[in-house]
Structure 1
Amino acid sequence: MEIEGTILAGRDFEPIEGRVVVEDGRIEAVEETTTDSSRIVFPAFVNAHTHIGDSIAKEAGGGLSLDELVAPPDGLKHRLLRAASREELVAGMERTIDFMVESGTGTFCEFREGGVEGVRAIEDALADSPVDATVLGRETVEAMAAADGFGASGARDADFEDERAATREADKLFGIHAGERDAADIEPALALDPDFLVHMVYAESHHLDRLAAEGIPVAVCPRSNLVTDVGFPPIERLADRTTVALGTDNAMLDSPSMFREMEFTAKLTDCRARDVLRMATANGAEMLGLDAGLVEPGREARLCVLDGDSNNLAGVQNPVRGVVRRAGVADIERVVLPERTTGND
């Protein structure tokens, strides 16, 4: 397979006129050549933090506080998850996964509620999809063992020391929410030596110093934080000290569109467009240890291809800014993932 157009190649997304050569699901070459194609080709998104089980309750609970919405064990989402049948849960996740693929996401990291059964449910939802998911079980060590690691709710809910020890012994990922509503749970979360943190809205200077010293990445979810009225993460300060990746968080609160997350981030911060695109692609892949997030030879072929001559994108002078600040699902020509291609050729 060869895809011609403007290629946003490598870690700096330098625009190259040419083509990407894909063989057996991998990028064989990125070649500079003259082309008449208006396509824009860039890495498929890595959504660094999701809760897609919430797909059964989109836009439920307007006006509720963060604790009322999502705090375990009896926040609204947890009550709705308990009340849903397994069939409803799997069907809701399948549709959200389909939307993520349609909107350019090639992989995502899911904090999966429901113990072992919750892990099995998302495995069923993923069965026919080309998207790659890092699934972190919650609530029990057994859920961690059945998944790719453990996704802790936050140090204010439990100490999680046993879960962290078991995860380390299994050589799996350990992620934890921290600093979402205040700074009180950040130090206890850091004491667990996590592989990554989520949110860090209330990160203070000494927390940033520790992130830098210990090389702990952070997944930020700015749209979700504003919806739940907890504030806005200090994305520029975090990015100065560590790896920052973008996630869309709870499907009940926000569409899992990385285009929306990028535009929101770019227009509400002073981050450069290429840095925001990196947060939506390469940084999430790096955080999760994935072979994804970049267009370069040897990488897995997970690509998003835009119609650069769409009514929305025609006339864009800077393709990186165009992707980050303007593009949307309607501009996608196709999404290339291993095993099959979605969209229209």
Structure 2
Amino acid sequence: MQYVSGQMLTPEGFRPGHVGYEDGIVLEVGEGLVETAEAEGLIVPTFINAHTHLADLKVPIDLDLPLEEAVAPPNGLKYRYLAEAPDDEIRSSFSTLSRKMAKNGTSRFIDFREGGVKGAKLLKGIGKGGGAKPFIMGRPKDRVFDKEEMTKLLDTVHGVGVSSITDWPYEELEALADFVRSHGMPFALHASERIREDIDKVLDLKPSFLVHMTKATRDDMDACRDADVPVVVCPRSNLFFGSIPPLKEMVESGLKLALGTDNAMTTLPDMMTEMEFAARILRSQGGRSMRPILDMALLGGRLILNEVDSIGIAPGSPCEFMVLRSYEGDPVTNITLRSGERDVRFVCLGKYTWRGWR
């Protein structure tokens, strides 16, 4: 059995401890340090990147374009690229970013995959051999509900994630959401990203989670909290397009929150950088604790995937943990504000391990 040792994140906070593992399974989680360890530092679960669009990595972004013209269907710059890009180019983007994410401590990512059945199939199999693995949220090729197309799509994806109620005929969106839920699969959508949208209409679709809510009011947040609908925030993407997410208000509302990186065309899927941006925004808005940001990155995505209800590493679970460089001071503040890819000492995903910067 092999070990990592250091300050370990538990449901009660950071404690001196160690993790023993073998053949991709956690076998021992204990108090106290061990003398012989593969790595020493801050031991935490891996990140779950709760919202990505990785296919647009190679879109030549035009800085003069507003959000709608850059990414909105069907004629935004991104969609024109995706319609013309060769399949092998898009798949290459997936593979490149999957490997990069894994080495930086991200084990899985929830990707809103455009292009219907064909687009979803391009993402299948990515992550085998040690990369971060996708949770595929596909969508119809066009903004209409077609039962035959959706039946085929649901055989390929893990769930369905669409743009927004502003982009869709609402009746088509209702039919789509009903169909997805009837098959026991998650349905999600972007909400109030560019403009405030009717939260009652959004929640009437009974989404599993929402993305952005940048323009939401406190009443909108409270409605999502009461409906037990989590929200994924993507601060760097929002900032690029001229908005700042109301993180302090979201935290104070009691919303379940997760962290994502959004479009690869503007924002690489680097969860440490995303955490730092989120932490600095929260601080600028009056936040006095960075723990909510750490929870968004480590716990929020797992809540959306219905895997756990608290942070920790448990015996018998698959290996999904990493060891980060330990600086003096509070571990939460260090991870959220002072850690980058050079601080990743060790990553263990199943039977695959990476040793980072020394």
- The question of a shared fold, defined as TM-score above 0.5 by the shorter chain, is answered with yes
C-alpha root-mean-square deviation of aligned residues, in Å?
2.0
Distance of 1:131 and 1:244 partners within structure 2: 21
Alignment partner of 1:262 out of 275, 297, 306: 275
293 and 25 in structure 1: CA distance in 2 versus 1, 3 angstrom threshold = farther
Q: Partner letter of residue 48 of structure 2?
A: V
Q: Distance in 2 between matches of 1:2 and 1:235?
A: 39
1:221 to 212, 228, 234: 234
Match runs of 1:110-121 below 5 Å: 110-121=111-122
Residues 283 and 293 in structure 1, CA contact (< 8 A), matched pair in contact too: no
Residue in 2 that maps onto 1:238: 250
The code of the aligned residue for 1:125 comes to I
Cα deviations by residue, 1:279-338 (Å, 9 ceiling, x for unpaired):
001111011223596323343320111233xxxx4xx22222111111111111221001
Q: Does 1:184 align with 2:185?
A: no
In structure 2, distance between residues paired with 1:197 and 1:190: 9
**Corresponding residue for residue 106 of structure 1:** 107
Q: Kindly provide the CA deviation profile for residues 158-183 of structure 1, in whole angstroms up to 9, marking residues without a partner as x.
A: 12112111111111111110010111
- Code of the residue aligned with 2:8 in structure 1: it is L
Residues 275/3 of structure 1: CA separation in 2 closer, same or farther (3 Å cut): farther
Shift in Å at residue 62 of structure 1? Answer: 1.7
How many residues of Structure 1 are paired with residues of Structure 2 in the alignment?
Answer: 336
Q: Which letter maps to 1:324?
A: T
> For residue 329 of structure 1, what is the aligned residue in structure 2?
341
Q: Are residues 130 and 339 of structure 1, via their aligned partners in 2, closer, same or farther at CA, if it must alter by over 3 Å? A: farther
Equivalence for 1:2 = 2
Q: 1:11 to 1:107 in 2, by over 3 A?
A: farther
Give the corresponding residue for 1:45: 47
**SS in structure 1 at match of 2:126:** helix
- Partner amino acid, structure 1, of 2:67: L
The one-letter code sitting in structure 2 at the alignment partner of 1:196 is F
CA distance in 1, matches of 2:118, 2:101: 23
1:304 to 322, 344, 348: 322
- Cα deviation 1:126-172 (Å, max 9, x = unaligned): 34344232110012523344200100110111121121111111111
For residues 330 and 93 of structure 1, what CA distance do their matches in structure 2 show? 23
Distance 1:233 1:157, change over 3 A: same
Structure 1 unaligned runs (5+)? Answer: none
Confirm or deny: 8 A CA contact 1:19 1:32 kept in the other structure. yes
Q: Structure 2 counterpart of 1:289, which letter? A: N
Cα 1:205/1:268, change in 2 over 3 Å? closer
Question: Which residue of structure 2 aligns with residue 253 of structure 1?
Answer: 266
Q: How far off is 1:38 after superposition?
A: 4.2
Change (3 A) 1:334 1:288: same
Asked if the contact 1:53/1:93 (under 8 Å) is kept, the reply is yes
Q: Distance in 2 between matches of 1:8 and 1:321?
A: 15
* 2: CA distance, partners of 1:169 / 1:45: 30
Aligned counterparts, 1:63-142, within 5 A: 63-139=64-140, 141=150, 142=152
TM value normalised by structure 1: 0.91
Given the alignment, which residue of 167, 175, 191 partners 1:157? 167
Contact 2:10 2:311 in 1 (8 A): no
* Structure 2 counterpart of 1:237, one-letter code: E
Deviation per residue, 1:178-236 (Å, 9 max, x gap): 0101112433221101000000011113212211211110000011001011x222222
Q: Alignment identity in percent? A: 33
Which residue identity does 2:291 align to in structure 1?
Answer: R
* Change beyond 3 A, Cα 1:11–1:283: farther
Letter of the structure 1 residue corresponding to residue 165 of structure 2: A
Q: Is the 8 A contact 1:154 1:185 kept in 2?
A: no
**Distance in 2 between residues matched to 1:49 and 1:321, nearest whole Å:** 24
Long gaps (5+) in structure 2:
142-149
Letter in 2 for 1:7: Q
Over 3 Å counting, the alpha-carbon distance change for 1:99 and 1:137 in structure 2 is: same
User: Counterpart of 2:58 in 1: which secondary structure?
Assistant: helix
- 1:36-94 residue CA offsets vs partner (Å, 9 max, x unmatched): 6742211110111000001122x622231110110001100111111110010101111
Which secondary structure state, in structure 1, belongs to the residue aligned with residue 91 of structure 2? helix
8 Å contact from structure 1 (residues 150, 163) kept in 2? no
Is the CA contact (8 Å cut-off) linking 2:99 and 2:131 kept in structure 1? Answer: no
Report matched runs for 1:179-218 at 5 Å: 179-218=192-231
Question: 1:341 and 2:353 equivalent?
Answer: yes
CA distance in 1, matches of 2:65, 2:154: 30
Q: For residues 222 and 131 of structure 1, do their structure 2 counterparts lie closer, same or farther at Cα, with a shift above 3 Å needed?
A: same
